[in-house]
Structure 1
Amino acid sequence: SELAIITTQQAEEADYNLSPSRWVGQNGNAEVGSIPNLLRELEQLNEQEISLTSNLLQLLRPLAKTEDA
């Protein structure tokens, strides 16, 4: 989604034409990756998430035992 911030003066000068095509340009600089590369990256990120979550749970587990006491 695109966003443009304009001043009141700009809106007045445009006769209050707030059409998005007037203010928001097209971004032709979007990065595009190949599907196999994107899938590999997604798999790596998923593995990192699993590892980080596991580590966090190990660190937090002792705190749960102190609340039961």
Structure 2
Amino acid sequence: MKPLFRFFPTAFVALFLTLFMTSCAAIGDIFKAGAYTGIIGVIVVIGIIIWVVSKLFGGGGSRNS
């Protein structure tokens, strides 16, 4: 029974986000805020994705081969 109790909080958070955080609502809020806000948001998200990928795969730094 212990593995079930360890999985429960993660499953609860995923279910909560799935039910209450819809992408349509986020897109609607971006359109309400304006086009420039949407453009800046997209640039920020792409920057974060690039940063995370570079951290995962060890991008940058000197390698002595």
Query: What's the TM-score bracket when you normalise by the shorter of the two chains?
Result: 0.3 to 0.5
Q: Under a length normalisation based on structure 1, what TM-score does the superposition of the two structures give?
A: 0.38
Q: Under a length normalisation based on structure 2, what TM-score does the superposition of the two structures give?
A: 0.40
Structure of higher CA gyration radius: 1
